[in-house]
Amino acid sequence: MTVNVTIDLSPAVARRAARRGLLKPDGIGRLIEREIELDKSIPDFRRIVAVLRAQPDEPMTMDEIQAEVQACRDERRSCESRR
C-alpha cells in the first residue's frame, strides 16, 4: 500500500533527519514499524511495573543495592578465575 504523507519540520530537524536517512521512504517505514513495536511493549512494561509495585517488601537501601552489586561482581570474578 502506498500512503503519501506531508510533514512540517524545522530546517534543523529536517537536516538531521535527512543525514540519518529518515526522510527516505524506507527510513520513514522503519520509524513507523519501530513505533508499532513500542506500542506492543507498553502493556508488558505496565504489567511488570504493576507487579513490582505490588511487592510487599520495602525498597532497597543504597547499601543493600551496593551489596548486591558487589556480590554479583564477586561471583563473576570467581567464575572467571575458574576458567
Query: Which structural domain range is residue 37 located in?
Result: 11-81
In a domain, 57, yes or no: yes
Q: Place 65 in a pLDDT band, splitting at 50, 70 and 90.
A: very high
Total domains present in the chain = 1
Over the chain, what is the mean pLDDT? Answer: 90
For residue 44, the model assigns a pLDDT of: 85
Give the residue among 53, 77, 24 at the shortest CA–CA distance from 32: 24
In a domain, 6, yes or no: no
The set of cell numbers assigned to 2 is 502506498
Which secondary-structure segment (H or E) carries 81?
Answer: helix 62-81
In a domain, 3, yes or no: no
**Segment 19-59, tens digit of pLDDT:** 999 999 899 999 999 999 888 888 888 888 888 888 887 88
